[in-house]
Structure formats: structure tokens, C-alpha cells
A and B are shown apart, each in its own frame.
Chain A
Amino acid sequence: MTAGAGTAVARSAEPFGARLARWVPKLVLAPSFVLAFLFIYGLMAWNGYLSLSASRLLPNYEFVGIEQYQRLFESERWWVALTNLGIFGGLFIGCGMTIGLLLAILLDQKIRVEGVLRTIYLYPMALSFIVTGTAWKWILNPGLGLEKLAHEWGFAGFSFDWLINPDRAIYTIVIAGVWQSAGFVMALFLAGLRGIDDSILKAAQIDGASLPRIYWRIIIPCLRPVFFSTLMVLSHLAIKSFDLVMALTAGGPGFATDVPATFMYTMAFSRGQIGLGAASATIMLATVAAIVVPYLYSELRGRR
């Protein structure tokens, strides 16, 4: 009876009720849409314009064309940052994926305490890059961490000073980054491995393939989609990487471990070179877009 009354009321107020029902989603979504539009795409556009302006300490809207980009690519420090990104990105993605896949394969051998091990490997991902960076800064600090420990154990000749060696410092960032992300990559690959039918393994065994060949010829090719999404996640992490570098080396010694993100931050906010910083930010945006847009395109097209 109450239900009948309800429908009667709804029917009498239908024009307004229906209009409200149509508008509510739009009204609710509008603020976040406006905010996202303004503070993401608006600021991107502003940054794009600043990179074409003569801005230094403060924004200055005098249009100077691509002069900031010319300065950027003439700067030695920017090239160091790009080289570092290449080294870091390549090793971070390569080692992260290799170690992650290896861990996943080993963990997939029906071992006893798998749940515990999985959690242990996944834990670093729960830390922020700042914590990882700080912890590894202490571990790798010759006066505090590994080197001192080895010396105290009596290995007086042991030396591990990569953190303060300008030619080696970038590799410490790789170590910390891989340490943090390998467990996450492992979780992705493990999920992929679990999706593979057990009887495929049995069939391959009967067909006479050895375990390494089963993995190489059948299982790893089956994981191709997982490789692809892992590559996506890791490469954009690499390009954006800022906090890990800031916490671990702060771009030092000197600017030996600068990456584009720390370069941009230093130029825009501490060196009074807003135009140059904006130009480097635009280059980074373009790099990320070059990776993500084809991915999104293929994903969206594949779904249709």
C-alpha cells in the first residue's frame, strides 16, 4: 500500500523528478570536472605557455618562441639529466621486470609459505619513495651502512661508495627503485601465471619439453599482456621519478644524479628559471604522452 502511494506521488511529480534525475549526475560531477579541467589541463596549458615566455624568477608573459627550449638543449645539466633518465629508466625497468618475473616464477612452484613470502616481497610497495630513499641513503652511506658494517666485521678492504661517487651514484637509485618495485612487478606476473591453466603445463611435460623450455616457449609468451602493462607502469614511474632521487641523493653529488624531474624542480623553484623549468616539464609531458597515448589508443580500440 505504501509502495502504491509512492508511485502515485512520483507519477504526479514526474516532470520535475525526471528532470532532477537527469541533472543530478551532471551536477554532482560538475565541480570535480571543473577542478580537474582547471588544475590539470589548465595548468598544463599555462605551463606550455610559460615555456614559450621569457619567465625567470617570476612569470613573465613576453613571448620569446622556442628560445627556452634552445637554452634547455644547450644546457649540459639537462643532458646529464636525460642520460641519467636513460640509465635509470632502462635498468629500473629491465632489472625490475627480470627480478619480478623470476620471483613470480619461483613463488609459483607450489611452495609452502607462499602467502607469507608474497606479502614480504610486496611490502616495499607500501612504503613511499621518500622512505625508501632515506632508508637506502643510510644503508649505502659509507660511514653508516654496508661499508661500515663490513669494516667492523673485519673486511677492512671492503669499499662500497657508489652513493658519493659521481659516476656510480645513479646506480644506487636503480638499486633502491628496483628494491621497491620488484615485489609489485612480481605480484602482477604472479597473477598472470595463476591465470594459466595447469593442464597446459602437464601437456607440455608429456610433449617432452623441459621446465625451462616450457617457461620460455609457452608461459612467458602467454604473459605478453602482463609484460605490456608492467612496462607501462614502470616506465611512467621512471620518467616521473622525483621523490626517490630527492631523498636518496638530492640530485648529487653535484648534479651527477639529476633526472628531468629534479632538473625541472631546481630550475623552476630554486634557480629562478621558470621558463626553462616549464620547457623541461613540457618535454617530460611529451615523453609520457608518447608512451601512454599509443597504449590507450590500442586499449580503447581493442575493446570495441
Chain B
Amino acid sequence: MGALSIRDVRRSYGGIEILKGIDVEVEAGEFLILVGPSGCGKSTLLNIIAGLDAPTTGTVHIAGRDVTRALPKDRDIAMVFQSYALYPNMNVAGNISFGLEMRNVPRDQREAAVQRVAKMLQIEHLLDRKPGQLSGGQRQRVAMGRALARDPVLFLFDEPLSNLDAKLRVEMRAEIKQLHRAAQVTTVYVTHDQVEAMTLGDRIAVMKGGLIEQLGTPDDIYDRPATRFVAEFIGSPAMNMIVAERSPAGLAAQGFDLVLDDGQRRALSAGAPGPVLYGLRPESLSFGDAGLPGTVTMLEPTGPETYALVDTAVGKLTARVPGRLHQAIGAPVALRWSAADVHLFDTRTEQRLA
């Protein structure tokens, strides 16, 4: 029995189905990421776990107890919101201890909890301030402190880093990861940022249109995306997709033979006939003397690496190469890759073939 299990949860609002049957089991201490584009239902799912919304059908169990109809306060959870949701009329200490106060914890224990949390998050000097006097990063810490004070069985994060600037976001991301490692509390974390998803999660659930497209470890999701959507959603720049036709040698696009290994050939012959999507991550592409010919049309140097947009006979492909590129825009190049880096998807079902 996991720390959190979501069984066939569906939610519809006035005939529109937002969640179309979600099944997830989360083990104790696990860090689960819900990631997906806007409107995929990830926040609705989180609200259902928190008890702020109720599923139309299906059940939610926390620590082996059915809490589908339980009030948020009876679920022993804590939640961090995107807007931090600090109580503006209370100082930081009041914010952190409010939940304990509502649970009738004696004053000395409340103060001890505030001190413990403040020390953990290094906000001891802020305890007397009101939220309005804090910076975004400090508010974020206080919001986490409020969640940590109660020692819940389940942490919920609703896009907690979206309102921070880029630098602070990276810092807080690392801090959340360290906190989780130290506290080992089961966590469900909603984000639309795939970097957060990849760096923080023990497992990632990629959601789209009210369904989980793929649930797996970050490595699984990145190396073996189950569908075309997952392949294109995770990874930046996005995976290159080439529409390939069957040919005597395997696959070809615009008359260019595309490399395949034996396993991929077997999967192709086992699958239904018809065109196939041939996916290549930008970092799988490299420049060589021979290969797919094309011309460089745009260069985006990021410092440690350069993204090069290359126009080829099979379409525009993005290559991600380390360091700077000495090729100029308009220069003829040849792209190479190895068959092991290829992802194949059915064009119709968009499911992974190999």
C-alpha cells in the first residue's frame, strides 16, 4: 500500500471532462512530478488530492486511508501555492504556526516548531515581518516553512517556483530537492517546467488532455518517451520529428535512407504498415564529413553549447552541439547520428514503436 494512491479518478465540470481516469500509486518518500501544458488537468488533480476539489468518480487514498470525501484538514497534508498564499495580516511566525494553532497545539510546541522551521529555511531574522515586507524568494521560503511546520504525511506543491525570477528559481529548486532528501516526505509537485520535472522528480507523470501519457523515472521519460507528445514536450529544444516512408532498406524520407538498428527493423516489421515518425533529439545530431546534407539557417549560442537550425531535404532540424560553431550561416553541412539514438513513433496512434 503506497503513501498515496489515486484510482480511476475522473472529474467533469458541466459535461466537460477535465480528468479522464487517472491511476497513480506513489510510494512513501517518493517525489512525484505532474507535468503538462496548461489545461491538462494537473492542477485539478492536485486539488483533488488536497481535498479542495472532489472527483466525480474514483477514489483517493492517503497512507492507506480512503480520503476521497474527507475535508482538506483531515488529510494530514500541506500545500505550497504558486502565489504563496501567505496570510497578509499575520507576521511570518504567525503564518508558520497558524496551522498548528488551528489544530490546538500548545503554544510552547508551536514556538518550538516555528524555531525549528525557521532555522531549517534560514528565515529566523524574518519572523516578525509581515508578508508584504518580504521579497519573492523570502515569501517562497515562508510558504514552505508553513508546510514544513506541521510534519504532514504528504506535501503538495502547485507550481511553487513560477513567480520567481530565473536565478532564484534555480536556487530554490536545489533547496526543495535538498529539503526533500532531508525530510523524505512523500511529495506531489505540479509544474509546467520540464527542467523542474527532470531535476526534481523521482518519477514524472506527463499529462495531456486529462490523461497520463507516461509515468516513469526522468531517465525513462527522456530516453524512452512513450508517445510523440512526451517526446516533444520533454527536452529543450524539442525532439526533431521526420516523417518517414517504408523503403526496401527500412525507412526513407524524401529519398534519403534513414539509419536503423536491428531491433528497430523488427519493431517496424511487426507494426502496422504506413508512414512512421522518426525522432531525433537535437543533441544526437552532430556535424560530420558525410551524412544528411543541409545548410545552416540560424545559430543560437547559449555559451556552453550552440543550437543550430539546419535546413535539410527532410525538413528543418535542430542540432545541439557543444561549444561554439565555426560554420557560418548559409554554410553547407552534413548531419550524422547513430541508430541507437533514434525514436520511432506510429504517425496515426502516436505511440512509440521502438
Within 8 Å of chain B (Cβ to Cβ): is A202?
yes
CB-defined contacts of A200 to chain B, threshold 8 Å: 85-88
Q: How far is the CA of A202 from the CA of B81 in the complex (A)?
A: 9
B interface residues, tally (CB under 8 Å): 24
Within 8 Å of chain A (Cβ to Cβ): is B72?
yes
Is the pair A209, B98 in contact by a Cβ cutoff of 8 Å?
Answer: yes
Is the pair A199, B81 in contact by a Cβ cutoff of 8 Å?
Answer: yes
A interface residues, tally (CB under 8 Å): 17
Contact with B along A189-207 (1 / 0, CB 8 A): 0000000010110111111
Is the pair A213, B85 in contact by a Cβ cutoff of 8 Å?
Answer: no
Is the pair B79, A206 in contact by a Cβ cutoff of 8 Å?
Answer: yes
Partner of A208, one of B79, B82, B103, B158: B103
**Closest partner residue, chain A, to B98 (CB atom):** A207
Given contacts A209-B102, A213-B102, contact A204 B87 (CB under 8 A): yes
CB-defined contacts of B89 to chain A, threshold 8 Å: 218, 221-222, 224
Is the pair A203, B102 in contact by a Cβ cutoff of 8 Å?
Answer: no
Closest chain-B Cβ to A267's Cβ sits at a distance in Å of 47
Within 8 Å of chain A (Cβ to Cβ): is B78?
yes
Q: How far is the CA of A221 from the CA of B87 in the complex (A)?
A: 10
Within 8 Å of chain A (Cβ to Cβ): is B205?
no
CB-defined contacts of B260 to chain A, threshold 8 Å: none
CB-defined contacts of B277 to chain A, threshold 8 Å: none
Within 8 Å of chain A (Cβ to Cβ): is B83?
yes
Q: How far is the CA of A217 from the CA of B77 in the complex (A)?
A: 21
Is the pair B81, A205 in contact by a Cβ cutoff of 8 Å?
Answer: no
Is the pair B85, A205 in contact by a Cβ cutoff of 8 Å?
Answer: no
**Closest partner residue, chain A, to B80 (CB atom):** A203
CB-defined contacts of B82 to chain A, threshold 8 Å: 199
Closest chain-B Cβ to A20's Cβ sits at a distance in Å of 46
Is the pair A207, B99 in contact by a Cβ cutoff of 8 Å?
Answer: yes
Q: How far is the CA of A213 from the CA of B78 in the complex (A)?
A: 19
Q: How far is the CA of A204 from the CA of B89 in the complex (A)?
A: 13
Given contacts A207-B98, A209-B98, contact A202 B88 (CB under 8 A): no
Within 8 Å of chain A (Cβ to Cβ): is B266?
no
Given contacts A207-B73, A208-B73, contact A202 B102 (CB under 8 A): no
CB-defined contacts of B87 to chain A, threshold 8 Å: 200, 203-204, 217-218, 222
Contact with A along B59-87 (1 / 0, CB 8 A): 00000000000011100011101110111
Is the pair A205, B52 in contact by a Cβ cutoff of 8 Å?
Answer: yes
Closest chain-B Cβ to A291's Cβ sits at a distance in Å of 25
**Closest partner residue, chain B, to A209 (CB atom):** B102
Of residues 208 through 241 on chain A, the ones whose CB sits less than 8 Å from some CB of chain B are: 208-209, 213, 217-218, 221-222, 224
CB-defined contacts of A203 to chain B, threshold 8 Å: 79, 81, 85-87, 146
CB-defined contacts of B81 to chain A, threshold 8 Å: 199, 202-203
Of residues 101 through 115 on chain A, the ones whose CB sits less than 8 Å from some CB of chain B are: none
Closest chain-A Cβ to B311's Cβ sits at a distance in Å of 45
Is the pair B83, A202 in contact by a Cβ cutoff of 8 Å?
Answer: no
Q: How far is the CA of A206 from the CA of B150 in the complex (A)?
A: 11
Is the pair B72, A206 in contact by a Cβ cutoff of 8 Å?
Answer: yes
Of residues 93 through 146 on chain B, the ones whose CB sits less than 8 Å from some CB of chain A are: 98-99, 102-103, 146
Given contacts A205-B52, A209-B102, contact A222 B88 (CB under 8 A): yes
**Closest partner residue, chain A, to B78 (CB atom):** A206
Q: How far is the CA of A189 from the CA of B301 in the complex (A)?
A: 53
Closest chain-A Cβ to B237's Cβ sits at a distance in Å of 33
Within 8 Å of chain A (Cβ to Cβ): is B50?
yes
Q: How far is the CA of A204 from the CA of B52 in the complex (A)?
A: 11
Is the pair A202, B52 in contact by a Cβ cutoff of 8 Å?
Answer: yes
Closest chain-A Cβ to B48's Cβ sits at a distance in Å of 13
Q: How far is the CA of A1 from the CA of B146 in the complex (A)?
A: 66
Is the pair B83, A199 in contact by a Cβ cutoff of 8 Å?
Answer: yes
**Closest partner residue, chain A, to B149 (CB atom):** A207
CB-defined contacts of B98 to chain A, threshold 8 Å: 204, 207, 209, 217
CB-defined contacts of A217 to chain B, threshold 8 Å: 87, 98
Contact with A along B18-61 (1 / 0, CB 8 A): 00000000000000000000000000000000111000000000
Q: How far is the CA of A85 from the CA of B189 in the complex (A)?
A: 59
Is the pair B102, A208 in contact by a Cβ cutoff of 8 Å?
Answer: yes
Q: How far is the CA of A204 from the CA of B51 in the complex (A)?
A: 13
Q: How far is the CA of A213 from the CA of B102 in the complex (A)?
A: 9
Q: How far is the CA of A209 from the CA of B85 in the complex (A)?
A: 14
Closest chain-B Cβ to A294's Cβ sits at a distance in Å of 22
Closest chain-B Cβ to A25's Cβ sits at a distance in Å of 37
CB-defined contacts of A199 to chain B, threshold 8 Å: 81-83, 85, 158
Closest chain-B Cβ to A147's Cβ sits at a distance in Å of 47
Q: How far is the CA of A199 from the CA of B87 in the complex (A)?
A: 10
Closest chain-A Cβ to B163's Cβ sits at a distance in Å of 12
CB-defined contacts of B78 to chain A, threshold 8 Å: 206
Closest chain-B Cβ to A226's Cβ sits at a distance in Å of 13
Given contacts A213-B102, A222-B88, A222-B89, contact A206 B83 (CB under 8 A): no
Closest chain-B Cβ to A197's Cβ sits at a distance in Å of 5
Closest chain-A Cβ to B306's Cβ sits at a distance in Å of 41
Closest chain-A Cβ to B145's Cβ sits at a distance in Å of 13
**9 examples of A-B residue contacts, CB within 8 angstroms:** A199-B83, A200-B85, A200-B86, A202-B50, A204-B87, A205-B51, A205-B73, A206-B78, A206-B79
Among all A-B residue pairs, the 3 with the closest Cβ atoms = A207-B99, A208-B73, A221-B89
